[in-house]
Amino acid sequence: MREFLKTSQELTSNGLAMVDQFSEVLNKLNIPNIPHIDTTPSERRLLQADGSPAGNYNRINEALKEVPKNNPTLFKVYIKAGIYKEQVDVTKHMTNVMSIGDGPTKTTITGSLNYVDGVGTYRTTTAAVVGDGFIAKDIGFENTAGVIKHQAVALCVLT
């Protein structure tokens, strides 16, 4: 089992490296209608976990309220390093949202909803995405309910 998990981890790492390289190539080609994941400070909506005045929002859902309905262009949200304890919802009307963090171990969205505490499995999601065109880069998603709490979901994407 240990060898199987090691192989699985290596394959996942290789796959993610290929996707990262592919996105860099797409950005350089400047193909119309393909969103570019590079972003400038003026294009970002700034979030800051510690509530300091440098950020425009203290919670991710607050920033997502700014997404125009059925947005045709990429709406970029920079999520500063920190632990965000909230249940994030990207609704079907929040289209073309890109969330950019400082790294999957530095920017973390976490929750602990679970089946044992009476929440249906589908509703335990830490982050639920229904809007088309969603992109997440350098963000970690987790549900800390643990095995004892049975079923729990960290990220659910239905686009």
Confidence of residue 107 (pLDDT cuts 50, 70, 90): very high
Nearest alpha-carbon partner for 146 in 122, 120, 113: 113
* pLDDT single digits (tens) 4-13: 777 888 888 7
Q: Is the full-model pTM beyond 0.85? A: no
* pLDDT single digits (tens) 49-100: 555 666 778 889 988 888 889 988 888 888 888 899 999 999 999 999 989 8
What does the pLDDT read at residue 57? 82
Considering the chain, what percentage of its residues have pLDDT values greater than 70? 83
Residue 120 DSSP SS3: coil
Give the separation between CA 64 and CA 45, rounded to whole angstroms.
9
Q: Which of residues 130 and 21 earns the better pLDDT score?
A: 130
DSSP line for 5-54 = HHHHHHHHHHHHHHHHHHHHHHHHHT-TTS------GGGEEEE-TT--TT
In this structure, which CATH number among 2.160.20.10, 2.60.15.10, 3.60.9.10, 3.40.50.12280 belongs to the domain 39-157?
2.160.20.10
What does the pLDDT read at residue 104? 92
What does the pLDDT read at residue 39? 57
134 pLDDT higher than 70: yes
157's CB contacts (< 8 A; 6+ apart) are 129, 134
What does the pLDDT read at residue 89? 95
Confidence of residue 17 (pLDDT cuts 50, 70, 90): confident
- Domain boundaries defined on the chain: 1-34, 39-157
The mean pLDDT value of the chain amounts to 83
What are the structure tokens assigned to 42, written together?
């003026």
